Amino acid sequence: MHVFADGACEPNPGPGGWGVAVYHDGVEIASDHGGAAETTNNRMELTGLLKGIEAAKALGAPATLWCDSQYAVKGATSWMFSWKKRGWKKPGNEELKNIELWQAIDAALAGVDQVAIEWCRGHSGIVGNERADELSNLGMASLARRHVASPDVTVTERDETADYLTAQCRQIMEG
Q: Do the Cβ atoms of 20 and 52 come closer than 8 Å?
A: yes
Which residues have a catalytic role annotated?
6-7, 45, 68, 123, 133
The percentage of residues in the chain with a pLDDT greater than 70, rounded to a whole number, is: 82
The model carries a pTM of 0.82
CA distance 20 to 8: 12
At the topology level, CATH places domain 2-174 in: Nucleotidyltransferase; domain 5 (3.30.420)
Residue 175: is it exposed, middle or buried by C-beta count within 10 angstroms (0-12/13-18/19+)?
Answer: exposed
pLDDT of residue 53 exceeding 90, the answer is yes
CA distance 97 to 87: 13
pLDDT of residue 167 exceeding 70, the answer is no
Give per-residue pLDDT as tens, 79-135.
999 999 999 999 999 999 999 999 999 999 998 889 999 999 998 999 999 999 999
Q: Do the Cβ atoms of 66 and 169 come closer than 8 Å?
A: no
